[in-house]
Amino acid sequence: MDPDARPDQTGVYEPGYFETRLAQDPNREKVWRHLCDHLSRYVRPDAEVLELGAGWCDFSNLIKARRVVAMDLDATVVRAAAPHVEAEVGDCTDLSRFDEDSFDVVFASNLLEHLDREQSARLLAGAARVLRPGGRLILMQPNFRLNPGRYFDDFTHVSVFTDQSLSDYLTSLGWSIEVRQARFMPLTLKSRGSGLSFLVPWYLRSPIKPLAGQMLIVANPGK
């Protein structure tokens, strides 16, 4: 995911990825509206928020915050960002363009599994640097433990995480775990069931989560 390694592909994550694994879906906004309402408990209305691997900007466009920056290696982020969202095209493992202590929240959905360990370490170090004291890192991730059979259906997945291993990994890097929810959402929103978006609030509240495949981790930087 280093743009310098493929200068001919600047602004493109992986040719054809957005047409296959991440095609635009009219139901996504409905689902993400409910998700953002749920996640708002971790995001103050006056917060400054950075989303990494923002893609279609599902989170960035809908979360209520004073300032929102959406960053992605793929230039899709520019045309997907709402007018109030600042779009940044670039490698999410290099956050040097942002000042230290400049954000209250760093959010990423389905991102770390696309990075090798060295890249993940750079991203997490960068997130810790740009977060203010008391800030939060919010990660939505596929949980390999819940659905190993479909984890590598995405041809760009290179790393495996479970709720236990990701929590331990973050702790080893100096993060404090605030929330560890092994079962948070289904593995993918890319299904016929995504049309039942009105059920999402019930699903998020329910202790019983059929088809759960994604976890939620909220962590605080060690500063």
- Dist CA 36 CA 28 (whole Å): 12
CATH number at residue 145: 3.40.50.150
The residue segments making up the domain with residue 174 are 3-220
Cβ 209 vs Cβ 182: under 8 Å: no
Distances (CA, A) of 195 to 4, 33, 66, 144, 192: 39, 13, 30, 25, 6
Higher-pLDDT residue of 154, 47:
47
Reading the block at residue 128, the tokens are 């810790």
- Which band of pLDDT confidence, cut at 50, 70 and 90, is reported for residue 26? low
pTM reported for the whole predicted model: 0.86
- The string of pLDDT tens digits covering residues 144-157 is 999 898 888 888 88
Core vs surface per residue 65-104: b (16+ CB within 10 A) or e: beebbbbbbbebbeebbeeebebbbbbbbbbeebeeebbb
Q: Considering its fold, how many domains does the chain have in total?
A: 1
Residue type, 71: M
